[in-house]
Chains A and B, each alone.
Chain A
Amino acid sequence: MKKVDSLKALDEIKGRVRPLLAVREDLDYTKIKEAPQVDILVCRGTGCTAAGSAEAEDAFRDAVKSNGLQSRVNVVKTGCRGFCEKGPNVIITPSDVLYTEVRAEDASEIVERHLLNGEIVERLLYKDPVTGKSIPFNHEIDFYKGQTRVVMHLNGLIDPWNIAEYIAYDGYRALIKALTEMRPEEVLGEVTKSGLRGRGGAGFPTGMKWGFVHSAAGEEKFVLCNGDEGDPGAFMNRSVLEGNPHSVIEGMAIGAYAIGNVRQGYAYVRAEYPLANETLSHAIHQAREYGFLGENILGTGFSFDIDIFPGAGAFVCGEETALMVSIEGKRGNPQQRPPFPANKGLFDKPSVLNNVETWSNIPRIILNGGDWYSSIGAKGNAGTKTFCLVGKISRSGIAEVPLGSSLGYVVFDIGGGPPGGKRFKAVQIGGPSGGVIPLEHINTPVDYESVTGLGAIMGSGGLIVMDEDSCMVDMARFFLQFTKDESCGKCTPCRVGIPKMLEILERISQGEGKMEDLDTLEELASMVAEASLCGLGQTAPNPVLSTIRHFREEYEAHIIDKKCPATVCAALFRAPCQHTCPVGLDCFGYAALIKEGKSDEAYRLIKQKLPFPMVVGRVCHHPCEAKCRRAQVDEPVAIRHLKRFAADWALEHNVEYIPEIKEKREERVAIIGSGPAGLSAAWDLAIYGYQVTVFEALPEAGGMLAVGIPEYRLPKDVLKKEVEDVRKLGVEIKQNSRIDDVTSLLKDGYKAIFIAIGAHEGARMGIPGEDLEGVYEAIEFLREVNLGKEVRVGKKVAVIGGGNTAVDSARVALRKGADEVYIFYRREKKDMPAIEEEVLSTEEEGVHLHCLTTPTKILGDNGRVSELELVRMELREFDRSGRRTPYAIEGSEYKVAVDMVIEAIGQRPDTSLIKDGELKIGRGGTIIADPRTLATEQKGIFAGGDAVTGAATVVEAIAAGQRAASSIRRWLQGKELSPLVERDGYEPIAIPSILPTEEETQEKAKVRISEIEPKERVASFKQAVSGYSPEEAMEEARRCLRCDLEV
């Protein structure tokens, strides 16, 4: 090969090769059959190769050959496009059709069907995990569409093993330009102007760094490339080295020229990247052949060469001083700075170290100018940054976006958010040295300053997405474990400080933490961050500090409540279902008993912890099922249905369980409100022998169970039966007994009071027309219906809201004779807080769901509702709940003719019984009580349930009642209140310890329950959903994986 000695020679190569590559950019699908040239681009990056793309590549060659297509079909190996999760990836051009997870055995099918017949092989197309749709064309995939690719622009397009293809895309043109048209200072100036900042993590301005070394004294200087990418989950540098190695070589050569007195460069590439090493090595060899490296490059007198130094896998060798001493052949320990590498670097000579991504940006900056580059991104944060989007994310891979793009854009628009509809929680950015950025900061622009301001770092661009199932304590623990192992051990704060922090975290995650531990952690962390020698130690505490900062309550849950809300810290629970259940039901236990045919014992096991199994078995929002591990196999166990089965079975078989009261106590306790919270507290206190009186203002006991939930979901007799059980235990329930003076009860001799009045007042929207006839608050509407009052239901009913109350109201309206029922909701369907099954049933029953719309006005005719004016909404940035904020689209107002409007936008407690200053009232009219002990500031008075939390769920109310009972017990016994709920006094029930059989763990959908046909359903208030038969229940129970038995 003759060396390239001029721009002309370069142009000659480009002119010859570029036309041959045109097909790869041809998006026209129609001409595949007769296309004169077809390139099959097989990704041979590490990810795809590991998944079998080498075999696929061979298979394609064979298939091309066996079909006699060699003359027009090329099989080309390319680098990584950053979509490794779906590898092996194969792209057919022209047309840019992407096939994913292509096996060798698929090759002939693709060649025959696609190339010969022009039909797309549907089954191998990429299926978007969010929409579930197949997307044939690479360029139409959302993951790519949202990206701006500067660094990655040739990845996957060119063959990295062929320098001519790089040259075809203007490769080495920048080097020639720099060497022949620019003085070194001009090159420096251009880089400075571009605003490029070091992509290795710290974001130090590259031009400035080069300038330091340029002006440092010394006859011998070095440029170094940091390819020691070691963050867990980061692989963007590897992709560049594998997919476009010449951009790094060219960048380094330009840098060497600009800095001056540089004859040698080193690329420090971790040895665990064999393919990157091989590709780069080959590229260096080719660059030498072509005369881009070596002596007297292009005859300009400039000489420069690059050697690869394979790193031996120590994370800390990515630290610049450690990397340099490692190249010197010493133990890769960081060195204290100053002196800085710009003055005393490799072999004590002035040295510039930039990472792969920084170097690979250089050629395009020189070619297109600094101004071009600085026009991308944000002010002070020019250009793009590649991120490795991994973790709990629907579309994972390398995402390159302009700096300053919002975090939410990357996570949701590109990544599609967490899979499985789970709630996004946070991202860990910057790898183990970084920190978490929580949901509430999802709109943060991703730039160096913003990220640092939130206690994280940009790092090399690792972006680990976490959802509701990620525990922040565990996450901090994981990263500390990593930094602990990767610390070089040289300086004390890092070597000892990190393990000590880790030990404390481990203590916390095992439920043995103390609140002082948080102070110790913060104190240690700040010392380690400040006093450690190098970046590793200085940043290692970030995960701890940032999780404490953003998720303190999660630490407190571990320490105080001994709970891991994400059900990750295994030492804290027996099984995720039980741990997640607010009342801690032994779901696995009753599943096991049902499976054994011991339904009566299952019932007792449930009833011991839950006085209302039949109710809860019907209406619970079952958070247990969301954490059920069976979902990782197929879908969660139908825990709620199993509970209902056991309860219904007991009723059917006259099995009653009223616990024995062992000791009568004199103290009297008053409970205000007979909802699930009040009755649960009464139940627990009565078991302990206390004299309990429940005061209920309404004529029926049960609170929201009685007046909020419609009968088709919760039949009256079911509720009555379970309320009756409470009475049987000796609890006095006084209906129609409204309490107007709380403290008077104390005077009446009650030793303790529990206020559980629920949230029975509807909130209003505050739009014009709410006073018109036919406008209801949902809770009022439901109450009236439940109490059998006559409610005039319109023909066209509009329900406003997206919660369970809205859904219930809509369905009740339908059953009460409405012709058309609409639900208007301002966000998207997936954002609705209502239970998903209920929404589904509602739609089945014919309710019209209108999303992204909100009422602005209720119009009336003669004082009665006649029309509803609405405005369409659009979603913009994310709010603190992680949902996008709806904004009204100006001018999109429209009207719908309705004759009834039910507002279901929220509830608040009616606290009129509380005198001014008697108890504190908080936001939303809720009563202020300690969230853990439920004690109010008045001694002996406790409050809980919806009255304290605002409208929540039945099972949470029950849990609150039990918590209150536990606190009242302690209070009456003169003990200190505790955040831990004590409930004992029950006889033990043995749970079979039998692991599921191999067969039982095989994929198997849950047993469906039968529902009455929608048409029939809406005709009455008859219970819509029936329970399991014993056989069905046993079959379903067999699906339980018995996580509690795991060691």
Chain B
Amino acid sequence: MNEISLTIDGRQVKGEEGDTVLDVCKANGIYVPTLCHKDGLSDVGACRMCVVEIERERRVMPACTYPAKDGLVVKTHTERLERYRRLILELILSEHEHNCLVCEQNGNCELQNLVYQYGIDKISLPINKLVEPIDDSSEVILRDPNKCILCGRCVRACAEIAGQGILSFADRGSKTIIVADLNWPLAQSGCVSCGACIQACPTGALTEKLARFQGRSWEFRKVQTTCPYCGVGCQIELNIKDNRIVKIYGVEDGSDNKGNLCVKGRFGFDYVHHPDRLTTPLIKRNGKFEEASWDEALDLIATRFKELKDKYGSDALAGLSSAKCTNEENYLFQKFVRTCFGTNNVDHCARLCHAPTVTGLVQTFGSGAMTNSINEIGDAACILAIGTNTTENHPVIGREVKRAVDNGAKLIVANPREINLCHFASLWLQHKPGTDVALLMGMMRVIVDEGLLDLVFIEERCENFDAFKQSLNDFDLDFVESVTGVPRDNIAQAARMFAVNSPATILYAMGITQSSHGHDNVMATANLAMLTGNVGKRSTGVNPLRGQNNVQGACDMGALPNVYPGYQAVADPAIRGKFETAWGCSLPASPGLTLIEMLEAAYRKEIKALYLVGENPALSDPDIRHVWESLAKLEFLVVQDIFLSETAKFAHVVLPAASFAERDGTFTNTERRVQRVRKAIKPIGDSRPDWWIICQVAKRSGAKGFNYSHPFDVMEEIRHLTPSYGGISYQRLENGGLQWPCPTDDHPGTPILHVNTFVRGKGRFVPLKYVPPAELPDENYPLILTTGRSLYHFHTGTMTRKVVGLNNIEPESTVEINPRDASQLGITQDDKVKVSSRRGEVITKAKVTEASPPGVVFMTFHFAESPANILTNPKLDPISKIPELKVCAVTVRPLMK
């Protein structure tokens, strides 16, 4: 950037080429009033508040759009400018009747501030008293056009921040209004309720519906923390009044999300204050839960675990940790299981999502985490989004994908369903569920055949290429077309597109992993990245998108049966020795059971006691009827959660945990970024943070090393035992998150993995074979069921079903079915239907939609009333032990009307 020099208000100031005059003013502390300008949005020069006088310009010019040039002479506060600004404010005030008394933005309104600043105490122009109807159709957003100043920030936020483009200007002149789609009520428009518009609005025209009259800006205490939903790790600012979260803003400065949030992140918080929150320990007596004191419950737990351990041995005990809990809590939990239970039987729900990522990427690259960073996605030249419904499940990353498309990137979507991203894609590969290996190998076959591979990269950085190349022989395009159902030309086109446009990046999620050959799927993506030299560079890589807020952290913290924190193998004696020394006890050498294996063992009565924190396998695991049976067989089950979940109902003791807003700690997001979680409110009722509870159970079980005054102490212990977290401290995190590996206090963190060398040394190509899904449609079960999540709910709905706005938007389960299948089955829109598999049946509502391809139906697993996982197949991937949640054979029948 070239430095330039300007004269502003007689002062010599510096700027950079490409700056606007406003940029330079801001950088030099020169105040220029603005309304339509907002950092992070494009500038349009609409409000004209920022007009300045520029030498040699006949008219006054808006500072926000005027390019700063060397030698420019600018005046920002002449009598004329101030007169114009006052007039403009008067015009805005005269456009509507503004009533600050009951305005939500009172005290936080940019218009109010300017009017006050300019001391406009009366308006000489006639005021338009016309009252426009308020749009309150949305569950979460209230639009009051009477407070709208038509600055267009919401329009730009909708397009530029949210990537939606739902809001736009309509009509002309003084009739200009902002509309959603074709002037439809917001609820009937394509609005995804992300609320970016609210955050962008300078006045009270767009407000949080549920926050109305709940508090005014000066009454709020503001706490920055990390969103508790998906793995993107958006930074949010809680606005708190009287120990209650009233509203949430996206943090704009220094965060990956730059203020952007999805509907859940912005509006999905009121579960925290839901009356169903567990507020006291419960002990089941005679089949009924009774309230108990903490001492009573904790002592009972310590006693029972000790009894059972003594009776059946350590390996009859197991612990399930939680991807919703902090790093510190996961660390403590696995430490508790390993030191106190004396077993490695510890796992968590990563098993159901990204276990193959860890195994597959470790095998090929040496590290099972997202190779690159979120903010690089927008700059990619090509994106392959396979098995990820990004805009629904990782909306803020979905926005990055669209940003890349806006910047001219080629987007290849591989998905059986017509997801939103398909509409932005250069190419949509609609492959059959479970045929990812064939599809990817077919693409790689084309790349190799056409010589589009990165030979230098392969030569210098990789190994085992020849064997891999051999394995491509099985994948001629006729075969691939027949297996995947994707026309061979499209496969070839996708291959070329990916190989030619660099940097190219791969995004994937559960569509790749939740498969009986998920491990192979992951390795196929890794092979493709290596084949085209797309590893270790900006905007490239293999990027698994993590589902839970802290699933990465829970893995990092060793809530896995085979590794200690930092993926240090339990089987390695040296490492074990290190932890034995640190924790002051001996540790078991053999890896423990995985999640599904634990439940199987419970079914077989080999596991007798289970300590379960913040998980809900009774709804999330495949074939849940079997899970229920397993849980019922346990002699002692402790569940620690914020609500009485479906799983908690099986428990002997239930402990009330604090929500994310009620505790301190850290989460590690999908891009390996460790970020702070901050206690914003006092725990609800008698609930306690998980770290406190675990320590209490441990201490009452007689364990040592659980005397922590604060999660800070825990992190200090973590970083001393975990090389990749070595440089991560609370002090440093105050300045924003850090991406591991961050081994030392002066290490800046690692946005891109495998830069010069793979973590494992050379990247390893792995030859692959196509294996069909474990269960395919047949006469009795002619349809494939695939499962997933929706934008408006999260996981088993424990939280989102208790959020009024979200649950109103999507109150019930549906099964998506193609019109062709529906008509063959005599099903019409909204019919009640019964979906059956070999494992059971659920009743839900039909949603007839082209989004589902013929032969494939789709359900979410959020709804306890229609639990999709009754149907799913528990068949495991042999390596990663993930069940095949994405493919099972079902039939759908209409219920009698």
A483 to B172, CA, bound (A): 10
Flag if B174 contacts A487 (CB, 8 Å). Answer: yes
Cβ contact of B172, chosen from A338, A487, A524, cutoff 8 A: A487
Cβ contact of A489, chosen from B66, B87, B92, B172, cutoff 8 A: B172
A383 to B426, CA, bound (A): 51
Q: B533 an interface residue at 8 Å Cβ cutoff?
A: no
Given A487-B172, A538-B59, residue A531 in contact with residue B91 (CB < 8 A): no
Flag if A500 contacts B94 (CB, 8 Å). Answer: yes
Residues on B with beta carbons closer than 8 Å to the beta carbon of A333: 169
Flag if A490 contacts B152 (CB, 8 Å). Answer: yes
Q: B83 an interface residue at 8 Å Cβ cutoff?
A: yes
Q: How far is the CB of A821 from chain B (nearest CB, A)?
A: 62
Stretch at the interface among B40-48, B401-409, B572-580: B40-48
Residues on A with beta carbons closer than 8 Å to the beta carbon of B67: 338-339
A487 to B92, CA, bound (A): 16
A485 to B95, CA, bound (A): 15
Q: A385 an interface residue at 8 Å Cβ cutoff?
A: no
Q: How far is the CB of A175 from chain B (nearest CB, A)?
A: 35
Stretch at the interface among A491-499, A757-765, A883-891, A952-960: A491-499
Q: A503 an interface residue at 8 Å Cβ cutoff?
A: yes
Flag if B173 contacts A497 (CB, 8 Å). Answer: no
Q: A530 an interface residue at 8 Å Cβ cutoff?
A: yes
A1004 to B168, CA, bound (A): 58
Flag if A527 contacts B87 (CB, 8 Å). Answer: yes
A583 to B789, CA, bound (A): 84
Residues on A with beta carbons closer than 8 Å to the beta carbon of B735: none
Flag if B174 contacts A493 (CB, 8 Å). Answer: no
Residues on A with beta carbons closer than 8 Å to the beta carbon of B46: 490-492, 533
A163 to B91, CA, bound (A): 54
Q: How far is the CB of A513 from chain B (nearest CB, A)?
A: 13
Chain A residues numbered 513-547 whose CB sits less than 8 Å from any CB in chain B: 520, 523-524, 527, 530-533, 538
Q: A831 an interface residue at 8 Å Cβ cutoff?
A: no
Residues on B with beta carbons closer than 8 Å to the beta carbon of A530: 59-60, 84
Q: B125 an interface residue at 8 Å Cβ cutoff?
A: yes
Flag if B174 contacts A484 (CB, 8 Å). Answer: yes
Residue of A nearest to B169 (CB): A331
Cβ contact of B92, chosen from A335, A496, A498, A499, cutoff 8 A: A496
A532 to B62, CA, bound (A): 10
Q: How far is the CB of A871 from chain B (nearest CB, A)?
A: 50
Cβ contact of B47, chosen from A335, A338, A485, A492, cutoff 8 A: A492
Residue of B nearest to A500 (CB): B125
A316 to B65, CA, bound (A): 20
A624 to B235, CA, bound (A): 78
Q: B51 an interface residue at 8 Å Cβ cutoff?
A: yes
Binary CB contact string for chain A from 468 to 494 against chain B (1 if under 8 A, 0 otherwise): 000000000000000111111111110
Most A-side CB within 10 Å, residue of B66, B88, B152, B168: B88
Residues on A with beta carbons closer than 8 Å to the beta carbon of B84: 527, 530-531
Residue of A nearest to B49 (CB): A492
Residues on B with beta carbons closer than 8 Å to the beta carbon of A497: 87, 91
Flag if B44 contacts A490 (CB, 8 Å). Answer: yes
Binary CB contact string for chain B from 159 to 176 against chain A (1 if under 8 A, 0 otherwise): 000000000110111111
Flag if A491 contacts B48 (CB, 8 Å). Answer: yes
A292 to B83, CA, bound (A): 55
Q: B685 an interface residue at 8 Å Cβ cutoff?
A: no
Binary CB contact string for chain A from 903 to 947 against chain B (1 if under 8 A, 0 otherwise): 000000000000000000000000000000000000000000000
Q: B117 an interface residue at 8 Å Cβ cutoff?
A: no
Binary CB contact string for chain B from 263 to 289 against chain A (1 if under 8 A, 0 otherwise): 000000000000000000000000000
Binary CB contact string for chain B from 113 to 152 against chain A (1 if under 8 A, 0 otherwise): 0000000000011100000000000000000000001101
Q: How far is the CB of A315 from chain B (nearest CB, A)?
A: 9
Given A497-B91, A500-B126, residue A531 in contact with residue B51 (CB < 8 A): yes
Residue of B nearest to A489 (CB): B176
Flag if B124 contacts A531 (CB, 8 Å). Answer: no
Interface size on A, residues (CB 8 A): 35
Most B-side CB within 10 Å, residue of A338, A490, A496, A524: A496
Flag if B173 contacts A484 (CB, 8 Å). Answer: yes
Q: How far is the CB of A617 from chain B (nearest CB, A)?
A: 46
Flag if B62 contacts A336 (CB, 8 Å). Answer: yes
Q: How far is the CB of B50 from chain A (nearest CB, A)?
A: 10
Cβ contact of A492, chosen from B92, B168, B169, B171, cutoff 8 A: B92
Flag if A531 contacts B59 (CB, 8 Å). Answer: yes
Flag if B48 contacts A493 (CB, 8 Å). Answer: yes
Residues on B with beta carbons closer than 8 Å to the beta carbon of A532: 48
Chain B residues numbered 17-66 whose CB sits less than 8 Å from any CB in chain A: 44-48, 51, 59-60, 62, 65-66
Binary CB contact string for chain B from 824 to 856 against chain A (1 if under 8 A, 0 otherwise): 000000000000000000000000000000000
A520 to B123, CA, bound (A): 12
A530 to B81, CA, bound (A): 10
Residues on B with beta carbons closer than 8 Å to the beta carbon of A336: 44-45, 62, 65
Cβ contact of A520, chosen from B62, B124, B173, B174, cutoff 8 A: B124
Residue of B nearest to A502 (CB): B174
A527 to B90, CA, bound (A): 12
Cβ contact of A493, chosen from B91, B124, B175, cutoff 8 A: B91
Flag if B174 contacts A491 (CB, 8 Å). Answer: no
A499 to B47, CA, bound (A): 16
Cβ contact of A524, chosen from B48, B66, B87, B173, cutoff 8 A: B87
Flag if B169 contacts A496 (CB, 8 Å). Answer: no
Flag if A499 contacts B173 (CB, 8 Å). Answer: yes
Cβ contact of A498, chosen from B48, B124, B174, cutoff 8 A: B174
A531 to B50, CA, bound (A): 10
Residues on A with beta carbons closer than 8 Å to the beta carbon of B66: 338
Flag if A527 contacts B173 (CB, 8 Å). Answer: no
A484 to B174, CA, bound (A): 7
Q: How far is the CB of A771 from chain B (nearest CB, A)?
A: 61
Q: How far is the CB of A539 from chain B (nearest CB, A)?
A: 11
Residues on A with beta carbons closer than 8 Å to the beta carbon of B173: 483-489, 495, 498-499
A530 to B83, CA, bound (A): 12
Cβ contact of A491, chosen from B45, B59, B87, B168, cutoff 8 A: B45
22 A-B interface contacts by CB (under 8 A): A314-B172, A483-B173, A485-B172, A489-B169, A491-B47, A491-B48, A492-B48, A492-B150, A493-B48, A493-B88, A495-B176, A496-B92, A496-B95, A497-B87, A500-B125, A503-B126, A520-B124, A520-B125, A523-B87, A531-B48, A531-B84, A531-B88
Chain A interface residues toward B at CB < 8 A: 314, 316, 331, 333, 335-336, 338-339, 483-493, 495-500, 503, 520, 523-524, 527, 530-533, 538
The 4 A-B pairs of least Cβ separation, nearest first, read: A489-B176, A336-B45, A496-B91, A487-B173
